[in-house]
C-alpha cells in the first residue's frame, strides 16, 4: 500500500467496486493515465467503463468530424447536428465522458497515432488503439516497448458481429489469489508484430478462425491503402484471392478460413452495438486488471462472435 487514503467522496462513490477489487487497486486506478486512439463504438464503451471505474486521466485521439457512421454505435455523441459545430469526434466524446465522472480528467489531443513520439507516449500507463492500419498498430506497439517504463498496449476492433482484442503487457508481474494466499505471477508477452509473425503451422490447436480472417482483411486493407473498416461486398474476390495466397505461404489448408466468415466481415464492416458492449466491457476489465496488478490478465488475443456466442482467449506467442 502506498499509504495515501481514498477520500470520503471516493469511498462513497466507488463503494461497490472497492468491494470487488479493494481500496489498494482503487488508489492505483486513480493514478493511471490512459490514451485511446479511434473513438468508435467499442472504444466508446471502453472509455465509459474506465471513466466510471475512476482512472486518473483519459486522453482521446480522433480527428474525424462526425458522420452518420461515427454516430451509429457511439452513445457519447449527441445526434443534434447543431451541437457538432466543427467539433471532432474526440471533442464531442470528451464532453460526454467528463460528465460521467467529474473526478476523472478527460482531454483531447489532436494528431495521428503514427506521429506520436516517445516524449508523448511515456506519459501514459495504458495505450489503446482502434481503427488503425496494420502499420500504425505495429509502430505504436514498438514505440511502447521502447519506453523507459512498462506501458500496456491494446488494440481493439469490431466488425459485423465480431470483435478482437490484442494485449501486450510486455514483462508483467501481478498478484493472484490462490485459495487464501496471494501469489506473485509473471507473464511475458510478445509484441503485435511478433505475434502475427508466428507461423500458422506452429499455432496451438484450434485457434479461433477469426484470428486468421482478420489477418487477411488487415493485409487486404493495407495493400489496397484503405482506411480500416473500408470494405464492401465488391472486395470479396480480392480478399478471397489474398486468403488463398496467405494460406499457401503459411502452408495451411485454405479451408482453415471459411469464406462465409470473410464474406460477413468484408460486407459488413460496421459495428454491432451489443458486440461493442461485450468487447468494450472485456477490454475495460483487462485494463483495470493491468493497472491494479490484480488477477490473471488475458494473453494475448480475445475473440467474440455473437453468432456462436463464445468469448475466447487465444495465446499466440512465438514458440520457445
Partner 1 sequence: MASQQQLSAIKGAKVLMVGAGGIGCELLKTLALSGFQDIHIIDMDTIEVSNLNRQFLFRKSHVGLSKAKVARDAVLRFRPNVSITSYHANVKNQEFNVDFFKQFSVVLNGLDNLDARRHVNRLCLAADVPLVESGTTGFLGQVTVHVKGKTECYECQPKPAPKTYPVCTITSTPSKFVHCIVWAKDLLFAKLFGDKNQENDLNVRSSDPASSSDHAEDIFELNKDETIEHYGRRVFDHVFGYNIEVALSNEDTWKNRNKPRPIYSRDILPDEPTKQNGNADKNCATDGQSLISAMASLGMKNPQEIWSLMENSRIFIEAIKLFFTKREKDVGNLAFDKDDQLAVEFVTAAANIRAESFGIPMHSLFESKGIAGNIVHAVATTNAIIAGLIVIEAIKVLQNDANNYRMTYCLEHPSRKMLLMPVEPFEPNKSCYVCSETPLSLEINTHSAKLRDLVEKIVKAKLGMNFPLIMHGAALLYEVGDDLDEDMVANYNANLEKVLSELPSPVVSGTILSVEDLQQELSCNINVKHRDEFDEEKEPDGMVLSGWQETSLEKGDSSKTLGNGESTSKTLPSTKDADKNDDTDIVVSGRKRKLDEASSAVDISSEANSSKKPEVLDDDDDDLVMLDDGDSAINKKKRLQ
Min CB(276)–partner 1 separation in Å: 7
Give DSSP secondary structure letters for 200-225. Answer: GGGSPTT--HHHHHHHHHHHHHHHTT
Q: Which three cell numbers stand for residue 319?
A: 514458440
Q: Is position 14 an interface residue for partner 1 (rule: CB under 8 A)?
A: yes
Is 268 a binding residue for partner 1 by CB under 8 A? The answer is yes
The minimum distance between CB 89 and partner 1, in angstroms, equals 14
What's the CA gap between 133 and 41, in Å, rounded?
Answer: 17
Shortest distance in whole angstroms from residue 79 CB to partner 1:
6
Residues 6+ apart with CB under 8 A from 263: 233, 236
Under the criterion CB under 8 A, does residue 128 sit at the interface with partner 1?
no
What is the CB neighbour count within 10 angstroms for residue 71? 16
Residue 303 CA to residue 312 CA, distance in Å, equals 5
Is residue 192 close enough to count as binding partner 1 by CB under 8 A?
Answer: no
Q: Is 117 in the site for partner 1 (CB under 8 A)?
A: no
Selected from 107, 173, 296, 318, the binder of partner 1 by CB under 8 A is 296
The correct pick among 212, 280, 290, 292 for binding partner 1 (CB under 8 A) is: 280
Name the nearest CA neighbour of 163 among 218, 210, 200.
210
141 contributes a contact to partner 1 by CB under 8 A:
no
C-alpha cell at 272: 454491432
Alpha helices in 225-272 (DSSP H): 236-249, 259-267
Spatial separation of the C-alpha atoms in residues 310 and 302, rounded to whole Å: 10
Least separation in angstroms between residue 195's CB and partner 1 is 16
**Distance separating alpha carbons of residues 217 and 134, to the nearest angstrom:** 10
Please report whether residue 45 would count as binding partner 1 according to CB under 8 A.
yes
- Which one of 282, 290, 291, 316 is in contact with partner 1 (CB under 8 A)? 282
- Indicate which single residue of 33, 56, 63, 75 sits in contact with partner 1 (rule: CB under 8 A): 75
Which three-class secondary structure state does DSSP give residue 183? Answer: strand
Applying CB under 8 A, which of residues 25, 66, 76, 242 lies at the interface with partner 1? 76
Provide the minimum distance between the beta carbon of 260 and partner 1 in the complex, in angstroms, as a whole number: 13
Q: Contact 261/149 with Cβ under 8 angstroms? A: no
Q: x/- string (CB under 8 A) for partner 1, residues 167-186?
A: --------------------
Q: Which of 117/234 has CB closer to partner 1?
A: 234
C-beta of residue 220 within 8 angstroms of C-beta of residue 238? yes
> Which is nearer to partner 1, 118 or 296 (by Cβ)?
296
Contact 312, 208 (CB under 8 A): yes
Q: What is the rounded distance in angstroms from the CA atom of residue 77 to the CA atom of residue 177?
A: 40
Does residue 230 bind partner 1 (CB under 8 A)?
no
The reply to whether 297 sits near partner 1 by the rule CB under 8 A is: no
Residues of this chain that interact with partner 1 (CB under 8 A) are: 5-6, 8, 11-21, 23, 41, 45, 48-49, 52-54, 72-73, 75-80, 99-102, 160-161, 206, 268-278, 280-282, 284-285, 288, 295-296, 298, 302, 304, 306, 308-314
Amino acid at each position: 500500500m502506498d499509504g495515501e487514503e481514498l477520500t470520503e467522496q471516493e469511498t462513497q462513490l466507488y463503494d461497490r467496486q472497492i468491494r470487488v477489487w479493494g481500496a489498494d487497486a482503487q488508489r492505483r486506478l486513480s493514478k493511471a493515465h490512459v490514451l485511446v486512439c479511434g473513438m468508435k463504438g467499442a472504444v466508446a464503451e471502453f472509455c465509459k467503463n474506465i471513466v466510471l471505474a475512476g482512472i486518473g486521466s483519459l486522453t482521446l485521439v480522433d480527428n474525424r468530424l462526425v458522420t452518420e457512421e461515427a454516430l451509429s454505435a457511439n452513445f457519447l455523441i449527441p445526434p443534434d447536428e447543431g451541437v457538432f459545430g466543427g467539433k471532432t469526434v474526440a471533442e464531442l466524446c470528451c464532453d460526454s465522458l467528463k460528465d460521467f465522472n467529474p473526478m476523472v480528467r478527460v482531454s483531447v489531443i489532436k494528431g495521428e497515432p503514427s506521429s506520436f513520439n516517445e516524449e508523448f507516449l511515456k506519459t501514459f500507463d495504458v495505450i489503446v488503439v482502434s481503427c488503425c492500419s496494420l502499420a500504425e498498430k505495429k509502430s505504436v506497439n514498438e514505440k511502447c516497448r521502447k519506453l523507459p517504463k512498462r506501458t500496456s498496449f491494446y488494440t481493439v476492433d469490431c466488425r459485423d458481429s465480431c470483435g478482437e482484442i490484442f494485449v501486450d503487457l510486455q514483462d508483467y508481474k501481478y498478484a493472484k489469489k490462490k485459495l487464501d494466499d496471494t501469489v506473485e505471477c509473471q507473464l511475458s508477452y510478445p509484441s503485435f508484430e511478433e505475434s502475427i509473425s508466428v507461423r500458422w503451422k506452429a499455432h496451438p490447436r484450434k485457434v479461433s478462425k477469426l484470428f486468421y480472417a482478420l489477418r487477411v482483411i488487415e493485409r487486404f486493407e493495407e495493400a489496397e491503402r484503405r482506411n480500416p473498416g473500408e470494405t464492401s461486398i465488391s472486395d470479396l474476390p480480392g480478399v478471397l484471392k489474398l486468403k488463398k495466397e496467405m494460406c499457401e505461404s503459411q502452408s495451411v489448408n485454405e479451408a482453415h478460413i471459411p469464406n462465409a466468415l470473410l464474406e460477413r466481415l468484408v460486407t459488413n464492416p460496421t459495428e454491432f452495438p451489443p458486440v461493442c458492449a461485450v468487447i468494450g466491457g472485456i477490454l475495460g476489465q483487462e485494463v483495470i486488471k493491468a493497472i491494479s496488478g490484480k488477477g490473471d490478465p488475458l494473453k494475448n488475443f480475445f475473440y467474440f462472435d455473437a453468432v456462436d456466442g463464445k468469448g475466447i482467449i487465444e495465446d499466440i506467442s512465438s514458440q520457445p
